[in-house]
Structure 1
């Protein structure tokens, strides 16, 4: 007797979709539709200018972001220093509080 897994799903046969391939009807259409490797697509002068402007814009945005990172890094360092100073101040005040509490207990 053959065991059948309850999670086993039967595999359905897939039929490939009907694809119609159209062929150019004239030689002119054939020439226009095919690109040969020796004919690279050359961008126009306007396209090159637009790309140059886009590159310049992206470079300036990148520089601005790098400056922001530098500023945020400096702010972070300043906050860390301030936090350390406050933690030392708290420790010092706690030590003084403990000392005062000890003196009060000795007097009482």
Structure 2
């Protein structure tokens, strides 16, 4: 299985040339404090346009939008991991956005 992992795109995700793979993981900070609000829906639409068979997103400390459980449906074109896991192609992937040493979203 070929895996591509990206992170810290902070909004200009459409400028990326994402290599082909079976699994794409975005490991956080796809926005800059979830502003403007349309950035989350644009990010989700961008995910939907990518050819990767499996897509996993773990929010980072800049993602205030999916901090509340009722808002997590905004990411529909990937599996969103918030202190949860998923099995993809025989691999177990765990994602947690908790970052206690830095300010922002998901701090405990």
Same fold (TM over 0.5): no
Question: Under a length normalisation based on structure 2, what TM-score does the superposition of the two structures give?
Answer: 0.16
Relative to its length, the structure with more strand (as a share) is: 2
Question: Under a length normalisation based on structure 1, what TM-score does the superposition of the two structures give?
Answer: 0.16
Relative to its length, the structure with more helix (as a share) is: 1
